[in-house]
């Protein structure tokens, strides 16, 4: 792939919290329309990696580029102002483990809030697009409901629609089904599968092995803050190169595909 | 006794203007205190030590001073620094500043128990600074703290009675004037009590309607 089609380039990112090195020298790239699933045991730094991409956490070392432009650091080398960082963040959608919907706004308002307030797009256009997105995730009838009145699966579908309403270049998912009851996981994965098929560029931290195997274009296996393995899902799940990946997969082996919370 | 209330009735103009002044004073102070409290709350939560300590100093200072003393200080103390205010401005400033400290503390209390993720989502979606606070952080705080804010507003109404000491013609001042003019203390003061009670009922009605708005979102 040429550099022009790289949506995300993570180069040598490290992050420590106190004495604990959470990420060490993590590098990977994501091409346009790729679905990269980040797998690994808990505490391996997966969430921190995602949060470094949009600078919710400031990496201690390394560079992050979105469509070729540096995230978080100005050309002069100084840390970006909140304003400049905001500009970049509007191009990176994020879906949170616990949904993180804004409780004081209705479903439709949740979708319209950032496009109108941050991106300053016209209300009519934002509204039409938001309604179309709600229809797409199957929640057109919930547009005037408040998040508190929705099931977990519905909340997460709103969370995905809210991220899409920003027209992002890249979508980040931080364990989007981990907080859901098992019977609600499926409805969220269906939406994510559709997005993958439509060519949305996504980085997904997940424990859903079935989903990763089926929908990922590439798997990134993280352990103790390092990228241990990166491979096509067929290869990774059938014949991983490292013992650590093999051990990790064995722990999931007894469970039905897509069935793990 | 009926005769005493008859005298109070004959002075109803004075009482009603006192009631109106108390209502105006309380309303403006409540709004001012809430706005100032909303500005102070992020300062209390600030990561900058100097900012949070300054805000903390103000808030704790205010909360440890009896309001009556504070009103005296503003009324008699400020002129010695060359700041001369009329009794209306003094009363309004004293009530507002004093209660802003409580409002800030109320909002901070609601803030620390809010889940972190919606705020984080705000940041991730490009909100920052004042926009983040105003659009994402503050509305849930106001909904969560509605009843406690209403309680503080009732406190403001009651504190406003102290301003009789700086000759502000509010309700207590009016009742006091009537009793000294006609010597009908019980009738004058009990009438004032009922009028205060009426004001508090209005606040409670407001709190209940905010409660319904919050309930739909909980």
CATH assignment of B2-216, among 1.10.3720.10, 3.90.320.10, 3.40.50.920, 3.30.70.3270: 1.10.3720.10
pLDDT digits (tens, 9 = 90+) for A6-15: 999 999 999 9
- What is the DSSP code (8-state) at residue A106? -
- A153 sits in which H/E element: helix A152-164
Within 8 A of B138 by CB-CB distance, chain A residues are none
> Are A148 and B128 within 8 A, CB to CB?
no
3-state secondary structure of A6: strand
The predicted structure's pLDDT at residue B183:
87
- The alpha-carbon gap from A51 to the nearest alpha carbon of chain B, in Å, equals 9
Residues of B in contact with A149 (CB under 8 A): 216
CA–CA dist A74, A232 (Å, integer): 34
pLDDT attached to residue A260: 45
pLDDT given for residue B62 in this prediction:
92
- Does the pLDDT value for residue A47 go beyond 70? yes
The reported pLDDT for the residue numbered B82 is 79
Contact B126 A89 (CB under 8 A): yes
**pLDDT at position A5:** 67
Size of interface A-B (CB pairs under 8 A): 72
The string of pLDDT tens digits covering residues B5-17 is 888 788 788 889 8
Which of B47, B121, B136 to mutate to probe the A interface, most A CBs <10 Å?
B121
A98 vs A42, residue with greater confidence: A98
A84-100 tens-digit pLDDT: 899 999 999 999 999 99
Cα distance from B211 to chain A (closest Cα, Å)?
13
Looking at residues A207-224, what average pLDDT do you find? Answer: 92
Q: How far is A151 from chain B (nearest CA, A)?
A: 13
Residue numbers of A between 140 and 179 with CB closer than 8 Å to B:
146-149, 162, 166
Distances in whole angstroms, Cα of residue B111 to Cα of each of B21, B48, B145, B155: 34, 17, 9, 22
B115 near A CB under 8 A: yes
Per-residue pLDDT at A195? 93
Instruction: Report the residue of chain B nearest A55, measured CA to CA.
Output: B124
In this complex, do B126 and A113 lie within 8 Å of one another by their Cβ atoms?
no
A32-54+90-253 falls under which CATH superfamily? P-loop containing nucleotide triphosphate hydrolases (3.40.50.300)
- Rounded percentage of chain B residues whose pLDDT exceeds 70: 100
A237 Cβ contact partners less than 8 Å away, ≥ 6 residues apart: A209, A212, A213, A219, A249
Considering only CB atoms, which chain A residues are within 8 Å of B128?
A: 82-83, 85-86
Average pLDDT on B193-218 reads 89
Put simply, the chain A residues between 76 and 115 with a CB less than 8 A from any chain B CB are 82-83, 85-87, 89-90, 92, 94, 96-104, 113-114
- For A100, which residue in chain B has the nearest alpha carbon? B118
Q: Does B131 touch chain A (CB under 8 A)?
A: yes
Residue B76 confidence (pLDDT): 86
Q: Check residue A134 and give its pLDDT.
A: 95
B216 touches chain A (CB under 8 A): yes
CA distance A140 to B7: 65
- The interface predicted TM-score of the complex, written ipTM, equals 0.91
pLDDT at A255 over 90: no
Hey, of A99, A102, A115, A162, which one would you mutate to test binding to chain B, going by the most B CBs within 10 A of its CB?
A102
Q: How far apart are CA B73 and CA B182, in angstroms?
A: 32
Assess contact for A192 and A215: CB atoms under 8 A: yes
* A258 has a pLDDT exceeding 50: no
Query: So where are chain B's domains?
Result: 2-216
């Amino acid at each position: 792939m040429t550099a022009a089609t790289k949506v995300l380039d993570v180069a040598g990112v490290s992050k420590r919290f106190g004495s604990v090195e959470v990420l060490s020298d993590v590098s990977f790239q994501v091409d346009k329309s790729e679905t990269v699933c980040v797998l690994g045991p808990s505490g391996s730094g997966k969430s921190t990696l995602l949060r470094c991409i949009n600078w919710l956490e400031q990496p201690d070392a390394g560079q992050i580029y979105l469509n070729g432009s540096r995230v978080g650091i100005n050309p002069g080398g100084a840390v970006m102002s909140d304003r400049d960082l905001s500009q970049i963040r509007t191009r990176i959608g994020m879906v949170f483990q616990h949904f993180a919907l804004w409780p004081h706004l209705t479903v439709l308002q949740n979708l319209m809030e950032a496009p109108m307030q941050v991106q300053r797009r016209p209300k009519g256009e934002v509204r039409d697009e938001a309604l179309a997105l709600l229809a797409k995730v199957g929640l057109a009838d919930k547009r005037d409901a408040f998040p508190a009145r929705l099931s977990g699966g519905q909340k997460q579908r709103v969370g995905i629609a809210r991220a899409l309403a920003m027209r992002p270049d890249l979508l980040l998912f931080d364990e989007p089904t981990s907080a859901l009851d098992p019977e609600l996981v499926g409805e969220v994965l269906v939406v994510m599968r559709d997005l993958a098929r439509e060519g949305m560029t996504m980085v997904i931290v997940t424990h859903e092995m079935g989903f990763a195997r089926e929908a990922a274009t590439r798997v990134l296996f993280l352990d103790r803050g390092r990228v241990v393995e990166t491979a096509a899902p067929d290869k990774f799940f059938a014949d991983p190169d490292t013992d650590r990946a093999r051990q990790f997969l064995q722990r999931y082996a007894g469970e039905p595909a897509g069935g793990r919370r | 006794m009926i005769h005493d209330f008859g005298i109070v009735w004959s002075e109803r103009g004075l009482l009603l203007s006192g009631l109106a002044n108390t209502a105006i004073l309380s309303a403006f102070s409540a709004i001012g205190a809430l706005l100032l409290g909303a500005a102070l709350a992020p300062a209390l939560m600030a990561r900058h030590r100097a900012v949070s300590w300054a805000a903390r100093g103000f808030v704790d200072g205010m909360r440890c001073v009896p309001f009556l003393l504070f009103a005296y200080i503003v009324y008699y103390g400020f002129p010695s620094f060359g700041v001369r205010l009329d009794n209306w401005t003094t009363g309004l400033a004293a009530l507002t500043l004093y209660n802003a400290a409580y409002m800030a503390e109320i909002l901070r209390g609601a803030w620390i128990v809010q889940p972190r993720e919606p705020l984080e989502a705000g940041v991730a979606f490009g909100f920052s600074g004042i926009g983040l606070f105003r659009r994402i952080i503050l509305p849930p705080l106001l909904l969560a703290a509605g009843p406690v804010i209403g309680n503080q507003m009732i406190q403001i109404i009651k504190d406003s009675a102290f301003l009789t000491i700086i000759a502000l013609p509010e309700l207590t001042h009016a009742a006091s004037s009537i009793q000294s003019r006609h010597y009908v203390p019980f009738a004058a003061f009990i009438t004032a009590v009922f009028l205060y009670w009426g004001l508090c009922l209005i606040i409670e009605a407001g709190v209940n309607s905010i409660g319904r708005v919050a309930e739909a979102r909980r």
